[in-house]
A and B are shown apart, each in its own frame.
Chain A
Amino acid sequence: MENRSLPQRLIARPEFGPFVLLIIEIAVFWSINRDFLSPQNISNTLAFTVELGLIALAMTLLMTSGEFDLSVGSLFGFSPVLMWTLFNSGLTSLEVGFLAALLVAAFIGLVNGWFVTQLKIPSFLVTLGMLLVVRGTALFVTDGFPQRTWSAEGSWLAEALVGDFFIGPFRIYMSLFWFIAAAAILGYVLTQSRTGNWIQAAGGNPNAARARGVNVNGVKIGLFILSSLMASLAGVISSLRTSAANPNSGTGYELEVIAMVVIGGTALTGGRGTIIGTVLGILILRVMRNGIVLIGVPGLAYNIFIGAIILGMMALHSWLERRHQAGT
């Protein structure tokens, strides 16, 4: 095992497959349409990529612990609706509304975690129920209509979250820095910290982890809260950037986010996760969505490609896992 060469070790890594796929994707789209790598297209792609990416980063840790969260898409829609409703009604400032949205999201994460760990209900069912509760609340509160989104210009919150500036020809949003910071911190937590060891153990063999004194339930509840907070933050960022707060926004994001995470190499069954892989998974799916439109494939065909990528990546990861277990 220790005698493997550097290329062999690189190929054996779960991130290798997604990395190659991303390179191929970019090369193919660029060879068909040179605008694919234009500064404007890269800026546009990155803007939304990082918003969905924030959710995927938290989902990586949660899935590594053996759970997942289907309520993130509904929170993505609900949190900005709550923030703008509080602000529009004059009850709070935008900043306090934002904090209230985060607090409610944290509470929702806590409830998810409590149901899963204390009542022993599978996270699929708990978060499916929460998805409907949160989405239903957003629709009920707003009568199904988008909220007025007064220009948030001048607000330090908007500047901090989605302020934009140019680096050469590239338009960069502040959210990109939040995404990079979140990826760096969560990558560190997962691979370097004691908490990361507990997360992997909680997903890999919860009984063994408990027997060693690891607070498995505490770890999982914390990750459900993190997942909800990131979904809420992503929703608010998206809302501020587009000046829109639609109670229906975020529909279907939960599955896209889970796809990003598993394509990157995180095991759906828990115990193994990779933040670098997730970043690659995020880019693969967003580049695919952007690229197929640019080269003239109908956008409705998007899911065909995504499905094929998921199947292909799962086959690759399964093959790598078998090789890994065989020690080759």
Chain B
Amino acid sequence: MAEPLIRMTNIKKSYGRVQALEDANFHVNEREIVGLLGDNGAGKSTLIKVLSGAVPLTSGDIFIRGKKVNLRSTSDAIAQGIETIYQDSALVTQLSIARNLFLGREPIKPPRFLNRMDQEAMNVVARDLLKQVGISKNIPPTTPIGSLSGGERQAVAIARAMHFDSDLIILDEPTNNLGVAETQGVLSFVRNARDSGHSCIFIAHNIHHVFQVVDRIVVMRRGKVVADDIDPKKTTVAEVERVITGMSDKEIRDAIVEGRPSRG
């Protein structure tokens, strides 16, 4: 079997006495959208932070296409082709779409010592990318991010990851606070990213959104991966909820009636 794009083995992460991740094993294949699910405190965010270089792991190994890597910072992760898109913190609202797309990697016009950005080239690429990611409206690339909707902002962030050939795009709650139409837009941007050859990790509390877009579902509970091969086409939302909570149907119903979770 081919080596997966990302493989994380026996990942441990502790914050003082709190064990956030306990021997977590996780992988993402090429051109695959993986839905990462779990209750609050299950360890999803920590796993993603480790993979995006935001926090160091306590022990364990990370492999990219079979090669062991050491991700000490977000810059390291970006250099290795891993891009994380947080809902509100990925873009600078005051800057234009084009300037956000190229932030930190702006093309320079000759002579280089003048340090002058090639804004025309940036605008041309930005226009193409917006089309490629699936934004149907004609939005000029000089538009400030602040005047875009939440869904359009997600599209810009995804477009940026696609342009800079990120192999893996991690989307942390990309559909939070979005309306129905905007959510469908974001889901289509994610599909477009996969169709262009990128892999994605999709984290969302809304399981219905996950079901619509992912190829495989991974569930975490109490710092461990408890299921990593759920096919959304062969299961139901209720089944996945049972895996997430670790409770039977009856226990879930009782918890809802009593208003308190009875986790076993």
Contacts and interface: CB of A to CB of B under 8 A. Distances in A.
By CB atoms of chain B within 10 A, which of A195, A197, A210, A267 has the most? A197
A197 B103 contact: yes
Interface in B20-66: none
A209 B74 contact: no
Given A192-B117, A204-B95, A214 B104 contact: yes
Contacts of B138: 2
B95 A201 contact: yes
Nearest to B140: A2
B244 interface: no
Interface string A168-195: 0000000000000000000001001111
By CB atoms of chain B within 10 A, which of A189, A208, A213, A327 has the most? A208
Interface stretch (B4-12, B142-150, B187-195): B142-150
A115 B103 CA distance: 26
B93 A271 contact: yes
Contacts of B95: 197, 200-201, 204
B31 to A, nearest CB: 25
B117 A197 contact: yes
Interface stretch (B84-92, B175-183, B200-208, B245-253): B84-92
Interface string A1-18: 110000000000000000
A201 B90 CA distance: 11
A198 B105 CA distance: 10
Nearest to B146: A325
Contact of B146 (A210, A212, A324): A324
Nearest to A64: B94
Nearest to A211: B74
B116 A192 contact: yes
Contact of A193 (B104, B117, B140): B117
A198 B146 CA distance: 17
B198 interface: no
B19 interface: no
A210 B90 contact: no
A272 interface: yes
B78 interface: yes
Nearest to B103: A212
B212 interface: no
Interface string B102-129: 1111101000001111010000000000
A194 B146 contact: no
Interface string A201-240: 1011101111111100000000000000000000000000
Nearest to A205: B92
Q: Is the interface of B mostly helix, strand, loop or mixed?
A: loop
Interface string A298-328: 0000000000000000000000000011110
B89 A212 contact: no
B143 A1 contact: yes
Contacts of B147: 1, 324-327
B115 A213 contact: no
Nearest to B89: A207
B196 interface: no
Contacts of B103: 197-198, 201, 208-209, 212, 214
A208 B106 contact: no
A214 B102 CA distance: 11
B221 interface: no
B262 interface: no
B216 interface: no
Contacts of A210: 74
Contacts of A203: 94
Contacts of B116: 192-194
Nearest to A210: B74
A212 B115 contact: no
Contacts of A212: 78, 103-105
A212 to B, nearest CB: 3
A216 to B, nearest CB: 11
B70 interface: no
Nearest to B119: A192
Interface of B: 74-75, 78, 84, 89-95, 99, 102-106, 108, 114-117, 119, 138-140, 143-144, 146-147
Interface of A: 1-2, 189, 192-195, 197-198, 200-201, 203-205, 207-214, 267, 271-272, 324-327
